[in-house]
Chain A
Amino acid sequence: MSIAGLFFFAAIVGLTLYVTYLASKRTNSASEFYTAGGGLTGWQNGIAIAGDYLSAASFLGIAGAIALNGFDGFFYSIGYLVAYLVVLYIVAEPLRNLGKYTLADMITARFNQQKIRGAAAVSTLTIVLFYMIAQLVGAGALIQLLLGIDYWIAVLLVGIMMTTYVLWGGMAATSWVQIIKAVLLMIGTIIISFLVLMKFDFNIFKMFSDMKSVTPAGEAFLNPGVKYTNGIDTMSMMIALVFGTAGLPHILMRFFTVKDAKTARSSVVYATWIVGIFYILTIFLGFGAAAFVGSEDIIAANAAGNMAAPLLAQALGGDLLMSFVSAVAFATILAVVAGLVLSGASAFAHDIYGQIIKKGKVTEKEQMKAARFASIAVSVFSIILALGAQSMNVAFLVSLAFCIAASANLPVIIYTIYWKRFNTTGALAAMVTGLVTALVLVALSPNIWSPEGTAILTGTALFPLTNPAIISVPAGFIAGYIGSVVSAKADERKYAEVAVKANTGLK
């Protein structure tokens, strides 16, 4: 590895540890630990949301997907962005007004029952684990390639960094790591996009014309259908992408770091602009990689295309830009996994330990201790799983996390805020059905089963789609509806309270 590369890596590690040190001085209460005391401003939280959201799957994954599959890769960019309208229009403000630290807090603001909290915590932990394994496996593979170190050392390195941020700096440090990363990622992406455009004489039309002949797909590269040939499966994936974001625990948690609904709103606006500009630029990353690296070299480095962006940086800006982009990719992974550890720890320590086992009777000191212990537990557990999951397809794990979030969390969030007749039976039915349907259908899908032995198990898949969202998301909604209608009447007094709080911010 070059001197410049070493410098960039050291600078990122140094800078993030420095903000962790600063944050550690004030992280001495549960509220500071989980939500940075609710003291972030709109733009800070907006950039942090973008930093939390633009994972390695977005940066490396989409760049590679567009480079290899043309328009089909761009589907992800569209789905991930439009998802922010669901967050803004339906979820963000009521969530801020009703919740405290976790998704379970928000649902139990209406149904104060242990089993509801338990179910919400279980679905949070499930999503966090799948998402985290995906990030860690991706991180391990990437750093292994970039630094030339063993996979297990790479995973361990990322694991130690993320645990350090969360353990000592809590949400304040995590937020600033995410802000730093988002800024670096945008700088890196803008530089590469500019260089790509320059190669095409700053002529978008020339770029599109040239792209028709430089890839093995030929003219088809610019049209949908290179990768996604099953229409129902494509629709299913698009459902998971657009509805999943509004149910992702580590994104939802970010709304508790601001003081009120108005600030939550403004942070979504900042995030939507940043994320949108980034996803537009993924076209240049992908096209550039296809044109100036070539699909053969991209696949040779990594079959899923994850190395397309760093290789493009090398082709356009030499080792210096390659080192910078690799360091940015490293920061990207750190920022996302730190956010995941925090949301996993909150479900574990706040929901399961604090509220269910201790029934809310915990001192501030005990809460902090539990939170830190849970952070270590979540970290260690996911590192161990990641070490064993080296050969898993990362994109599949991420889309599974989105699918569970859309199926198990979103229906119950929407009903809790907007439906008067909703009750505890409905809430439980929606969460359990969404979670179980998604998991079972994936277990029966071609991701797991392949007759040729190219998947995890050899055999015929009983469920034909790779993404079950088209079944599991409606299943979550229908179960919530049926569960509510067939059981005892809802507590309308409690709904009056939820409606007033959600709409006015009254405490």
Chain B
Amino acid sequence: MEQKVEHVVQPQRNHDYETIAASPEFKSLVRKKNNFLLPVTVFFLLFYFTLPLLTSFSTVLNKPAIGDISWVWIFALAQFIMTWTLCMMYVKKANQFDTEADQVLTKHNKSEGDRL
């Protein structure tokens, strides 16, 4: 059932991908996405590799933080919290991108409709 409906709404055709790719709306979407994805990715990779770097080449994380729990466990736990936080942050951002992607497609469908 579902597939049928989809087929009516979006028949297979050769879209003019280059026109969409060159449109200001699409360019703005890609720019916004990259401006979000790139810095965050760099951040979480740096944060992640800092842990093995510190444990391999220094002993600063071996000092006790709270009671007998040393900093290395706190930093390890921070990796988990970071992962969950960035995961939820991504969803929030991605929902905004969805809206913009829909606008790109709506505009494109309309201009293709006009041409036909």
Binding site for B on A (CB under 8 A): 71, 74-75, 78-79, 81-82, 84-86, 88-90, 93, 204-205, 208-209, 212, 222-225, 228, 231-232, 234-235, 238, 242, 259, 262, 265-266, 268-269, 272-273, 276, 279-280, 493, 496-497, 499-501, 503-507
Count of interface residues, chain B, beta-carbon cutoff 8 Å: 54
Are A84 and B20 CB-contacts (below 8 A) given A503-B30, A503-B101? no
**Is B111 engaged at the interface, CB distance under 8 Å to the other chain?**
no
> How far, in whole Å, are A279 and B81 apart by their CA atoms in the complex?
12
Residue on A nearest B69 in the bound complex, by CB: A208
- For residue B105, which residues in chain A have a CB less than 8 angstroms away from its CB? 504, 506
A-B contact count (CB 8 A): 144
> How far, in whole Å, are A493 and B18 apart by their CA atoms in the complex?
6
- For residue A235, which residues in chain B have a CB less than 8 angstroms away from its CB? 49, 52-53, 56
Min CB–CB distance B109 → chain A (angstroms): 10
> How far, in whole Å, are A222 and B105 apart by their CA atoms in the complex?
54
Q: Is the CB of A85 within 8 A of B68?
A: no
- For residue B62, which residues in chain A have a CB less than 8 angstroms away from its CB? 223-224
Residue on B nearest A496 in the bound complex, by CB: B21
Q: Is the CB of A272 within 8 A of B83?
A: yes
Q: Is the CB of A231 within 8 A of B57?
A: yes
> How far, in whole Å, are A71 and B79 apart by their CA atoms in the complex?
14
Q: Is the CB of B83 within 8 A of A84?
A: yes
Binding site for A on B (CB under 8 A): 2, 10, 12, 15, 17-18, 20-22, 26, 29-30, 33, 37, 40-41, 44-45, 48-49, 51-53, 55-57, 59, 61-62, 66-70, 72-73, 76-77, 79-80, 82-84, 86-88, 90-91, 94, 98, 101, 104-105, 108
> How far, in whole Å, are A499 and B21 apart by their CA atoms in the complex?
7
- For residue B79, which residues in chain A have a CB less than 8 angstroms away from its CB? 78, 81-82
Min CB–CB distance B48 → chain A (angstroms): 5
Interface of A, secondary structure class, is: helix
Are A209 and B67 CB-contacts (below 8 A) given A84-B87, A224-B55, A499-B30? yes
Q: Is the CB of B48 within 8 A of A238?
A: yes
Between-chain CB contacts (< 8 Å), 29 pairs: A71-B55, A74-B76, A78-B51, A78-B76, A81-B80, A84-B83, A85-B41, A85-B44, A89-B44, A90-B37, A90-B41, A204-B69, A205-B67, A208-B67, A223-B70, A224-B56, A231-B57, A235-B53, A238-B52, A242-B48, A259-B2, A273-B84, A493-B17, A500-B15, A500-B17, A503-B29, A503-B101, A504-B105, A505-B101
Known: A223-B62, A223-B70, A496-B20. 8 other contacts (CB 8 A): A89-B86, A235-B49, A493-B17, A497-B15, A500-B17, A504-B29, A504-B104, A505-B101
Residue on B nearest A279 in the bound complex, by CB: B80
> How far, in whole Å, are A442 and B17 apart by their CA atoms in the complex?
43
Q: Is the CB of A231 within 8 A of B56?
A: yes
Q: Is the CB of B48 within 8 A of A500?
A: no
Interface centre among B33, B48, B53 (most CB of A within 10 A): B48
Q: Which of A224, A242, A259, A269 contacts B88 (CB 8 A)?
A: A269
- For residue A265, which residues in chain B have a CB less than 8 angstroms away from its CB? 90-91, 94
- For residue A493, which residues in chain B have a CB less than 8 angstroms away from its CB? 17-18
Residue on B nearest A208 in the bound complex, by CB: B68
Q: Which of B41, B45, B73, B101 contacts A504 (CB 8 A)?
A: B101
Are A205 and B69 CB-contacts (below 8 A) given A225-B55, A269-B88, A506-B15? yes
Min CB–CB distance B72 → chain A (angstroms): 6
Min CB–CB distance A498 → chain B (angstroms): 8
- For residue B83, which residues in chain A have a CB less than 8 angstroms away from its CB? 81-82, 84-85, 272, 276
> How far, in whole Å, are A84 and B90 apart by their CA atoms in the complex?
12
Q: Which of B15, B40, B52, B70 contacts A234 (CB 8 A)?
A: B52
> How far, in whole Å, are A345 and B74 apart by their CA atoms in the complex?
43
> How far, in whole Å, are A494 and B115 apart by their CA atoms in the complex?
23
- For residue A273, which residues in chain B have a CB less than 8 angstroms away from its CB? 84, 87
Q: Is the CB of B87 within 8 A of A88?
A: yes
Min CB–CB distance B35 → chain A (angstroms): 13
Min CB–CB distance A339 → chain B (angstroms): 22
Nearest 10 pairs between A and B by C-beta?
A: A231-B56, A496-B21, A224-B55, A497-B17, A205-B67, A208-B68, A209-B68, A504-B101, A238-B52, A223-B62
Q: Is the CB of B37 within 8 A of A224?
A: no
> How far, in whole Å, are A81 and B110 apart by their CA atoms in the complex?
43
